Structure 1
Amino acid sequence: MTHDVSGLTQLGQPSRLPASPDQAVLERVANPHASLRYCIRFTAPEFTSLCPLTGQPDFAHLMIDYVPDAWIVESKSLKLYLASFRNHGAFHEACTLDIAQRLVGLLAPQWLRIGGYWYPRGGIPIDVFWQSGAAPDGVWIPDQKVEPYRGRG
């Protein structure tokens, strides 16, 4: 089976890190198994953004699960998009939900959820969760199993 990748601009090409999430180009390809319902998971355990007030780095373990419809996200473009937050100032909630909304807008998946497990700043971890609705019946969607922050040991 061959897949049309003619419209992709980043895969297989040298690509610079986008200066911001707004400048990042997220790309999609046709779902090679659109007749099947299945879950795709992306895990970004070293996600970084900046506090919009102090400019200090914020770190999170992001987990994105989705059940595709006609489209799947091209993974290199997703990696570049996520990395573009490195110099982006936004609160935890904004980063997490902006990522979810951008993916929903690009892919129109049957279902999507994101877990943003943020490491503490100021002594308080902030975890942010969102999903587009109830998970579809008949699709195995594993638990995210990311432990909440507990401090040392």
Structure 2
Amino acid sequence: MSSTDKYAVLTQLGTKTDLPQSPEEAVLERVANSQDVPYCVRFTAPEFTSLCPMTGQPDFAHLMIDYVPGKWLVESKSLKLFLGSFRNHGAFHEDCTVNIARRLVDVLEPVWLRIGGYWYPRGGIPIDVFYATGETPKGVWIPDQGVPPYRGRG
């Protein structure tokens, strides 16, 4: 199978694709993982935004998504559009972070996945949200997420 044939299932990559209006509308696409060894994939979204469900004010986070693929890899443009779809979505920090992880797990069926949601303060309190599907896999280098805890101006 040629590389163009195996990517023919992708509908967003290489085309103009509008930002989905909601996470429910967003389509996460996947491609086959051609590697037969365990390894870690990291996505960093330092400018993630969503809306407070009570006030409608914007919330900002630095997201770190690490996963060890099974049969599938997430196509990065579809991930970008999925994350961008939260810009008009009202949900608490915990809900956004865990729902992103669960949606990725449903689509990718990874060996392992974790997400760190490092949310910037609103109302004076930063909220960091962490989720993982289980124990860190042995034999795979999983680097520290490297996002320091919020320190304010101090």
Cα distance in 2, alignment partners of residues 86 and 146 from structure 1: 22
- State how 1:39-58 maps to structure 2 within 5 Å: 39-58=40-59
Root-mean-square deviation over aligned CA pairs: 0.9
* Structure 1 alignment gaps of length 5 or more: none
Cα distance in 1, alignment partners of residues 93 and 66 from structure 2: 18
Residue number in structure 2 paired with 1:138: 139
Cα distance in 2, alignment partners of residues 152 and 77 from structure 1: 36
Deviations 1:40-82 (A, max 9, x none): 0000000000000000000000000000000000000000000
1:15 to 2:17 alignment = yes
Give the TM-score, by structure 2 length: 0.97
* Structure 2 alignment gaps of length 5 or more: none
Cα distance in 2, alignment partners of residues 20 and 91 from structure 1: 15
Output the amino acid matched with 2:23.
Answer: P
SS where residue 58 of structure 1 aligns?
strand
1:116 to 2:117 alignment = yes
Cα distance in 1, alignment partners of residues 74 and 15 from structure 2: 17
Residue number in structure 2 paired with 1:30: 32
Instruction: Count residues in correspondence.
Output: 152
Cα distance in 1, alignment partners of residues 71 and 30 from structure 2: 10
Output the amino acid matched with 1:89.
Answer: G
Cα distance in 1, alignment partners of residues 148 and 84 from structure 2: 23
Cα distance in 2, alignment partners of residues 7 and 45 from structure 1: 29
SS where residue 96 of structure 1 aligns?
helix
Give the superposition deviation at 1:2. 2.6
